[in-house]
Amino acid sequence: MSADRKVILFTALEPSGDAHAAPVIARLRAEYPDIEPVAWGGPKMEAAGATMLGRTADDGVMGIKGVSRALEVRALHNTIVEWASKNPVAVHMPVDSPSANYPLCARLKPMGVKIVNLVAPQLWAWAPWRIKKVRRLSDVLLCLLPFEEQWFRVRGVTAKFVGHPLLSKSLEESGFVPNTDAFPAGAPHILLLAGSRSSEVRANARLLLDAFLLVRSRTPGAVAVVLASNEANAGHFRKAIGGEPPAGVHIAVSDIESAVYWSDLALAVSGTVSLDCARQAKPMIGVYRLSRLEVWGAKLLVRAPHLLLPNILAGRRIVPEFVPYAGGPELIAASALELLQNGVRMQRTREDLRQVAASFRGFDPARICAEVAARVARGQPMTNEILDGIS
C-alpha cells in the first residue's frame, strides 16, 4: 500500500455484508485513486478490488455461536487492531453485523479512526436504548431503508439514506436475462429459500420442505426448487432433511434472479432475499424458525409490528410472515394455499410489492457511499446538512 493513499478498512462478517460492500469497493477503486480499500470480508469484496486481509464473510459471523463465537470474534478484533496499529487507517467502514462490529469500532475510534457504518443497526425494531452507543461510535451512518435516516437524525446521529443495492435498479435496467432451463416443469412453482447462513439452513430446511409437501398434497402438480447460496449450503439442506429431497423437489445452486423469475410463490427465510422477491413482485411467505425459548425472548425485545422487510417498508402486512416462529409447517402451508387459490389476493400482493420496490428507484447506493467514505477519509467534515447535498 502506498503511504500517500488514505486507507478505508471494511469489515464484513456475513455473506450479505460481503454483497453490500462490494459495489462500494468497486466504485472507490474506479473513481478515487487516492483511496486504498482493504478488507476482512468475502469473495465479492475481493472480486471488487479490495486488498484482502482475511476471509470472514463466507458463512455469517464465522458460523460460531455462544462462547466459542465470542472468543473467535475477540481474536479477530485483536488481529485487526494490531494491523491497524501498524498501518494508519483513515476510515473504518463496518458492514452490518452490529453485535460483532461495534465492539471493534470502540477499539479503533480512540486510535483516531473515523467510523462510517454501512447498513444501520435496526435499533428501531429491537433496541432503541442502544442509540447512545451509536451516537458515541458512529461518525456517519449510511442507511438502506428510507425511514431510517429521520429516525436516527432526530436522535442525534449523522445519517443518510443511500438506497438499497438490490432495489435501486430494476432487473430490466440491469440487463437481466432469465435462465430457467434447468428448473422443473409443473404448477405451481414454489421457491424454497432456506437462508444464506449454514445455521439458518439447518434450522429451516425441514420446516420449508414439510410446508411444501403439505401444499403439494392439495395441489399435486406443484414443484419446488430449493435455491442454495452455495454448494456447502446445498449439502446442509440435504443433511437437515435426511438425504436427497423427494420427487418434485430440486436443489439448485443458481442465480437468485432466475429462480425468483421462475417462481409463483416463495417460502423464504427472513432476510435480504425478501427484497429479491419484492424486486420482481413475487408473492412470498416469510419464515424464521427459532426454539420456543428464543421466540419468547424475541417477543420481549422486538418493538416493531413487522419483521419481514417488505412489510416493514410498506408499513403494513402485505405478505404473510412467521418471524420468529417455533411451530410446525401447517400454518405456513395454509397461508401458501390461501394465496395460491386466491387470484385477487395474489395480484394485490404483486401490486403492493411493486410499490415497495419503486420507493427505492433513482438512488445509486454505491456512488453515494463511496463519496461519503472518500470525503471522510480525506478529513472533510460531514454533517446532516452536507449529506443532504450528496445525491
User: Residue 257 pLDDT > 50, yes or no?
Assistant: yes
Return d(Cα 190, Cα 169) in angstroms, integer.
25
Q: What is the pLDDT of residues 180-197, one digit of tens each?
A: 888 999 999 999 999 988
Return d(Cα 226, Cα 243) in angstroms, integer.
14
Q: Are residues 147 and 257 in the same domain?
A: no
User: Residue 1 pLDDT > 70, yes or no?
Assistant: no
Q: What is the pLDDT of residues 35-53, one digit of tens each?
A: 999 999 999 999 999 999 9
Q: Are residues 53 and 134 in the same domain?
A: yes
Confidence of residue 177 (pLDDT cuts 50, 70, 90): confident
In sequence order, the 6+-apart residues with CB closer than 8 A to the CB of 10 are 21, 24, 25, 37, 38, 39, 40, 41, 45, 50, 93, 94, 95, 118
Q: Are residues 198 and 313 in the same domain?
A: yes
For all residues of the chain together, what is the average pLDDT? Answer: 92
User: Residue 68 pLDDT > 70, yes or no?
Assistant: no
Q: Is residue 180 part of a domain?
A: no
Q: What is the pLDDT of residues 210-221, one digit of tens each?
A: 999 999 999 999
Domain count, the chain: 2
Q: Is residue 177 part of a domain?
A: no
Give the burial string for 44-58 (b: 16+ CB within 10 Å, else e).
bbbebbbebbeebbb
The domain in which residue 325 lies consists of 189-358
Are 7 and 87 spatial neighbours (Cβ–Cβ below 8 Å)? yes
Percent of the chain topping pLDDT 70: 96
Q: Is residue 382 part of a domain?
A: yes
Q: Are residues 368 and 297 in the same domain?
A: no
